[in-house]
Structure 1
């Protein structure tokens, strides 16, 4: 039935807008993940520094 096609696109548009709004809200309120810095005791001292 071609009469139902606008309702389908309206539902898809509403779903897209709501997911886009949720994406922006989560990106705004959630802090970015921080990478753990390796401690200096795990670094190998065998390698020579090539920058003098």
Structure 2
């Protein structure tokens, strides 16, 4: 297998992972009903 073939496969794999990740993020935010909130009290922050 040539170096060029490996590079092409690597780019294809990277693109596939990127598309999958973007799809998951879009799927999570498409609903819109759930909002993730990170809140904590001062007491929790001090302990």
Q: Which structure has the larger Rg over C-alpha atoms?
A: 1
Question: What are the ranges of 5 or more consecutive residues in structure 2 without an aligned counterpart?
Answer: 40-47
Number of aligned residues: 36
**Structure 1 stretches of 4+ moved >6 Å:** none
Question: What are the ranges of 5 or more consecutive residues in structure 1 without an aligned counterpart?
Answer: 37-52
TM-score w.r.t. length of structure 2:
0.59
Deviation at 1:15?
0.1
TM-score w.r.t. length of structure 1:
0.55
Provide the C-alpha distance between the structure 2 equivalents of 1:3 and 1:21, rounded to a whole number of angstroms: 27
The structure richer in helix per residue is 2
RMSD (Å), alpha carbons: 2.3
**Where does residue 14 of structure 1 map in the other structure?**
16
